[in-house]
Amino acid sequence: MQDKFFNSRKAQTGTTTTWIVATLIIIVVLGISIAAVNFAFPGKKNASLVDKEKDFLATKSITSFLSKKENVDLLKSGDKEKIELKMKRILYDILGTFGKNPGAWNLELEKDGKKTDVDTYNVIAVDPISGSGIPAFETNLNSNEIKLKFWKECQGICG
Amino acid sequence: MTGKNKKGMEKMISIYWFAILALTAGAVVYMVLIFYGNPYDVKGLESDIMMNNVADCILENGHLKYELNNELKNGFLNICHINLETEEPEGQYYLEIEFFEKGFRISEGNPNLKNNSNKNSVFSGSKSFYSLDKNSNEVTVKMNVYINKVNKNAG
């Protein structure tokens, strides 16, 4: 009789412990979920243009740049240093790419089938699998002799 | 005696289940509120659109489309079809365009926003682009946009 009494109490303690542990698990899971939501959405939500990689002002700038005969002649000359200096002024000083955006502008010049990397500007976005940069914004301009490739590298986080 | 205990136990479990249900529902509602409760801040988007429209208006084939004179300065909004009017009586926008090499400046809207002491409430955006004048001289154009609209956007 006494044994029965003790067994019954043991069973009750076990059941209570199960409920308490279950409650704690539920509270912990909910707490983690709330903390995660708070972390992911800390404040106001910013709306932005759907495709940030297509920079309208950059395209306008490079179009203006190529509208000047001296600039086109400079590109045709293939003088890497002078082209770099000129492009840096547009990309860094005017468009403010340097140190601001996670993406980066790149310029490649192709003359008589020979490619010349003019410069790689602050490349941050890199394909995690292949390790190479990902061209996300690209403008190809062709003339009779040269091909200028101008693109921005980023992974959907261009500012 | 045993039957009564069983009934009591069932009642306890029911109360417990309701408590857990309320807790879970409360947490879900709280998480949804965190996500949807915060308004969207579209001031950055407005600023980008305005600056893109300005650039599109004043540039044609890489060159500045208009002469930089008082006619452009005074009628800029009409020429570029930009409307800065809002429901609020005081202007909610301020647009400033500087043509650096020419020493020319156009400003439209409420200039008080630029010198507003409450920097957190007024959004400011700035972008530049490269252009050429009619004689193919280089002109750097810088645009500054200030947007208030605190009541309609997240502050």
Who contacts A22 (Cβ-Cβ below 8 Å, separation ≥6)? none
Closest Cα in chain A to B141: A94
In B46-85, the residues whose Cβ lies within 8 Å of chain A are 48-49, 51-52, 55-56, 59, 61-63
**pLDDT tens by residue, A74-87:** 877 777 778 777 77
Cα B62 off chain centre by: 28
pLDDT digits (tens, 9 = 90+) for B26-64: 999 988 888 887 777 788 888 988 999 999 999 988 899
Which has more confidence, A56 or B96? B96
Nearest Cα of chain A lies from the Cα of B109 at a distance, in angstroms, of 22
Burial class of residue B92 (count of CB atoms within 10 Å of its CB; 0-12, 13-18, 19+): buried
Which tokens is A63 given?
């179009």
Angle between helix A69-77 and A80-88 (nearest 10): 140
Beta-carbon contacts of residue A108 (< 8 Å; ≥ 6 apart): A115, A116, A117, A118, A148, A149, A150
Segments in chain A below pLDDT 70: 1-11, 43-54, 91-93, 95-159
Residues of A whose CB is below 8 A from B20: 23, 26
Residues 6+ apart with CB under 8 A from A36: none
In this predicted structure, what is the pLDDT of residue A9? 67
* CA neighbor of A159 nearest in space, from A136, A143, A129, A138: A136
CB < 8 Å & 24+ apart, contacts of B19-25: B20/A23, B20/A26, B23/A26, B23/A27, B23/A30, B24/A26, B24/A30
DSSP-derived pairing of the beta strands B63-64 and A146-153: unpaired
Backbone φ/ψ region at A79: left (φ over 0), alpha (ψ -120 to 50), beta:
beta
Nearest residue of A to residue B130, measured between CA atoms:
A61
Task: Note whether A119 and A85 are within 8 A (CB).
Answer: no
Q: Which two tokens stand for residue B107?
A: 């400003």
Q: What local confidence, expressed as pLDDT, does residue B146 receive?
A: 92
pLDDT band of residue B153 (cuts 50, 70, 90) is low
Ramachandran bin of B59, using left for φ above 0, alpha for ψ from -120 to 50, beta for the remaining angles: beta
A94 touches chain B (CB under 8 A): yes
The per-residue pLDDT of chain B, averaged, comes to 85
On whether any CB of chain A is under 8 Å from the CB of B39, the answer is yes
Is the full-model pTM beyond 0.80? no
Q: Which of A46, A56, A68 sits opposite B52 (nearest CB)?
A: A56
Instruction: Compute the 3-state secondary structure of chain A and give helix, strand, coil in percent, each to the nearest 5.
Output: 45, 20, 30
Percent with pLDDT over 90 in chain B = 39
Angle at A141 between CA A135 and CA A144, to 5 degrees: 140
Place of tokens 């009564």: B4
Q: Cβ of B128 and A65 within 8 Å?
A: no
